[in-house]
Copies of this chain bind each other. A is one copy, B any other.
């Protein structure tokens, strides 16, 4: 797992010995964080393979955003994997439970939120690992960060380190010593406003992204769920207007 990356390295830093670009699988939800991560991976010189999931989330607006973002960022490929976590139940993001609205930001991390999806990052990273192995890629990027993890066990650094260790034991790449699989979480300890500032520097168009847990049928964000409130505070703290609301 990488330390937070706040500046882009030159493309040559990640080129392979024969001068070809190194490939990276980037988990792209269409949200603000993963879009910024895609921009970081691109700026770091990786050829990016974007991976999104249709996992029965009720905010499918996200997937439209993921398509737009991946296209705008010039990824080498974008795959949407359909998986059904609903069959396992347990979360407001996939089941018929009310998304909490209007919560105070500093109280969001008091408990694991009802929007928690069981083992979600483990499932997502497992698919990313499968694709990485097929591509011969040893780099996986994921957009977890300190604000978003607010009680999600699978957004903590010790979890990501354990996944990385497991991944290197799970795959031909790791076992044959050809490469060490790295799970990059460049936003891990960044605040929302730092992420937005970094994205601005990297040319991210946040108008393409979607953060809301419970958007209106038109795609317009509810501006009351945890994700909308964190996003709004992030733009406010960064001193930038959210282009999605203009």
**A residues in contact (CB < 8 Å) with B:** 79, 81-85, 87-90, 112, 116-123, 125-127, 129-131, 133-134, 153-154, 156, 158-159, 162-163, 165-167, 169-172, 174-175
A127/B133 in contact, CB under 8 A: no
Known: A81-B84, A82-B82, A126-B126. A153 touches B171 (CB 8 A): yes
Contact between chains at B85 and A83 (CB < 8 Å): no
Q: How many copies of this chain? A: 2
How far apart sit A150 and B133, CA to CA, in the bound complex (Å)? Answer: 19
A237 to chain B, nearest CB (A): 29
* Residue in contact with A88 in the complex, picked from B90, B130, B169, B170, CB distance below 8 Å: B130
A58 to chain B minimum Cβ distance, whole angstroms, is 17
Q: Do B169 and A166 touch across chains, with their CB atoms under 8 A apart?
A: no
Q: Can you list 24 A-B pairs, Cβ within 8 angstroms, ordered by A?
A: A87-B131, A88-B127, A90-B134, A116-B172, A117-B130, A118-B133, A118-B171, A119-B127, A119-B130, A121-B170, A122-B130, A123-B123, A125-B126, A153-B172, A153-B174, A154-B171, A156-B169, A158-B169, A159-B166, A162-B165, A162-B166, A163-B166, A165-B165, A165-B166
Quick one: which of B84, B126, B154, B156 contacts A123, CB cutoff 8 A? B126
Residues of chain B contacted by A85 (CB below 8 angstroms): 130
- New contact pairs (15) apart from A79-B88, A153-B171, A165-B166, CB-CB < 8 Å: A81-B83, A81-B87, A85-B130, A88-B127, A88-B134, A90-B134, A112-B172, A119-B127, A122-B167, A123-B123, A123-B130, A153-B170, A154-B169, A163-B166, A166-B166
Q: How far apart are the CA atoms of A155 and B58 in the complex, in Å? A: 36
Question: CB-nearest residue of chain B relative to A117?
Answer: B130
